[in-house]
Amino acid sequence: MSSTPATTAPTPAAEDRRALRTQLLAQRAALPARAEADARIAAALSGLLAGLAVRCLGFYWPIQQEFDARDAVGIWLAAMPGRSAALPSVSRPGAPLDFHLWTPDTPMATGHYGIPVPDGTEAATPDALLIPCVGFSPDKFRLGYGGGFYDRTLAAMAQRPVAIGIGYENCRAPLQAQPHDIAMDWIVTESGAF
């Protein structure tokens, strides 16, 4: 008797998340008063970071209308000596993210998925991460793009960093957490940090 591999259809939960992700990305793309919302996120983020004892801040290169944290991170870096920032890179699909030091002057190269990554800088281990949210729930679970990179990264880090989700209020959604999901410690939106 031979056995043939079964094909697995997406679960209803996966289908629901895909549909929700598509809806939230469209809402984010159509966000009115974007510059004002971004300025308010930057202010809330600066206030939150001022109260945390962060030495190395991991963040993300903005794609698909995400909040661009580079200016806020640059100001945070310049405010106190000894701070460092790092951007993620994908070493291979299915693996946790690697982080490499970044400054506003760091030369960049094109990484996986066409996302810029620091070119030739040292590896770093952030003690706080800014994590982009396609959507987020009131209990601080996030919906990303579906690749699981940040959940894998948080689960694999020996010392868990402070996880700070960054999103827009119009992307707050009633998400049902899945077993692999890891809640954020903070969510920052144009309405503040919670």
Please give the annotated binding residues for ATP, written as ranges.
Answer: 17-21, 142-150
Instruction: Give binding residues as ranges.
Output: 17-21, 66, 142-150
Give percent helix, percent strand, percent coil of the chain, each to the nearest 5.
30, 20, 45
Nearest Cα residue to 65 out of 143, 134, 160, 17: 134
Instruction: Give binding residues for substrate as ranges.
Output: 66
